[in-house]
Amino acid sequence: MEPKFKVIALGCTGGPRESDISGYMVYPIDNPDEALIIDAGTLLNGIIVAGERGNLIDFHCESGALTAVGEVFLKKVRGYLISHAHLDHIAALVINSQVDSGHKFIAATDSTIKDLSDHIFNNVIWPNYGSEGREPILKKYQYVRTPLHEMVELPHVKFKVESHRLSHPHDYPSTAFLLEYKDSYLLYFGDTSPDVLEKEKHLAHIWKRIAPLIREGKLQGMLLECSVPDLDSEQVIYGHLNPKMLIQELRQLELEVGGSLNGLKVIVTHRKESLLRQTTLEQIVDQIRASSDLSVEFIFPMQGDRIPL
C-alpha cells in the first residue's frame, strides 16, 4: 500500500521518563504544512529529537529568526487532538502553551474539553489559554468538540476526524480518533481496556467500523497501545492492553474483516518503561513477536522516528 501519511514519534512510552511520553505528529505526505499533534505528553522535546535525527526533512523552513524546530512547532503544527486529559497525554501541551503560537485548535470529546477547561486551563493550575471557562479567557486555543461516531472537519487543515469512545479505568472515558484525508484513513487509540474486561464493547464497535476500510485498502495503519508485558500470574490489568490482550483484539478485528489483515501496519504505543535491567519495553516487543501469527506489520517506534503509513 502506498504511504499517504507520515508519523513522527514525539514520545513513545507511557512513562515514567517524562521526556518521552505519548505524543505523535501526523501529516499528509503531500502537505506537511498541515501537521496535527495527537496527544501531547511530550511535544517540543520530541520535535528537537526528531530534528537531531534528521527527521524534519519533509518541512520547508525559512532561513529566518526561528530555528527549524521553532518553525515546525509554531507554524507547521496547526492543532491538537487529545484522547483524554490524563497528565501523560497533556503535560507538554500545558508546559509548551506559554510559547506556542495562537490560533490553534484543541479538538477532543466534550468530556475531555471539560476536564481541560475545569482542571488545567483554569487560571489556577495554569493560565486559561482556552476559548471558554474561567476568566480571564486568553483564547490562544480554540476548543473544538468532536462528536462520537460522526466524521467532522477540523479547522485550518484538510483532515477530518471521527471520535470513538474507549474504556479506561473507573469509567474514565478515553478516545480513539479515525482520521481521514483524501479518502485515506489512519486510526489512533488513546489508552484502552480490552473488551473482555468491560461491559461495553467499544473495541468491537471500532473493529466493525474499520473492517470495510481494510477490505477496501483505505486504512493506512493504526497506532494502538500496549502498556505492560504479560505477567506470569493471572493478575488482571486495568485500563490498558498487554501483548496477550492486544493479539486477542487484533484477532477479533481479523474475524470482523473476514480474512487476512494483509500486512496492516500497527504502531505499538504507550509501552511503559521500568527501572529493571530488562526493561518492560523489551519484554513487550519480545512477547508480541513471539505470540503473533497475524499478517500484521508491528512497528515499535523510538523517539524521533519518522514512519510512513
pLDDT digits (tens, 9 = 90+) for 105-134: 999 999 999 999 999 999 999 999 999 999
* Nearest-10 Cα torsion for 280, 23, 269, 202: 130
> How is 108-126 classified by DSSP, letter by letter?
E-HHHHHHHHHHTBSSSSB
Q: Strand order of the sheet with strand 141-145?
A: 141-145, 104-108, 77-81, 35-40, 23-28, 5-11, 306-308
d(CA 81, CA 96): 15
- Comparing CA positions, the residue from 79, 73, 99, 188 lying closest to residue 144 is 79
Please check whether residue 240 is in contact with residue 191, taking contact to mean a CB–CB distance below 8 angstroms.
yes
**235-246 per-position pLDDT tens digit:** 556 789 999 999
Partnered with residue 56 across adjacent β-strands are none
* Nearest-10 Cα torsion for 73, 74, 77, 82: 80
* Pairing label, strands 35-40, 77-81: parallel
Task: Select the more confidently predicted residue: 273 or 223.
Answer: 223
Burial state string for 3-17 with b = 16 or more CB within 10 A and e = fewer than 16: ebbbbbbbbbbbbee
Please, where are the H alpha helices in 26-107? Answer: 44-52, 68-71, 91-96
**268-278 per-position pLDDT tens digit:** 999 988 887 76
**Grid cell locating 145:** 468538540
- Comparing CA positions, the residue from 189, 162, 186, 161 lying closest to residue 174 is 189
d(CA 286, CA 187): 24
**Grid cell locating 211:** 473492517
The answer, as to whether pTM is greater than 0.85, is yes
Let me know the angle formed at the C-alpha of 167 by 195 and 247, rounded to the nearest 5 degrees. 40
* Pairing label, strands 219-225, 184-189: parallel
**177-187 per-position pLDDT tens digit:** 999 999 999 99
Predicted confidence band of residue 171 (pLDDT cuts 50, 70, 90): confident
What are the CA-CA distances from residue 274 to residues 193, 277, 281, 289 (Å)?
21, 8, 8, 20
d(CA 22, CA 41): 5
**285-301 per-position pLDDT tens digit:** 999 999 888 999 999 99
**22-67 per-position pLDDT tens digit:** 999 999 999 999 999 999 999 999 999 999 999 999 999 887 899 9
Structural domains in the chain, sorted by start: 5-308 (3.60.15.10)
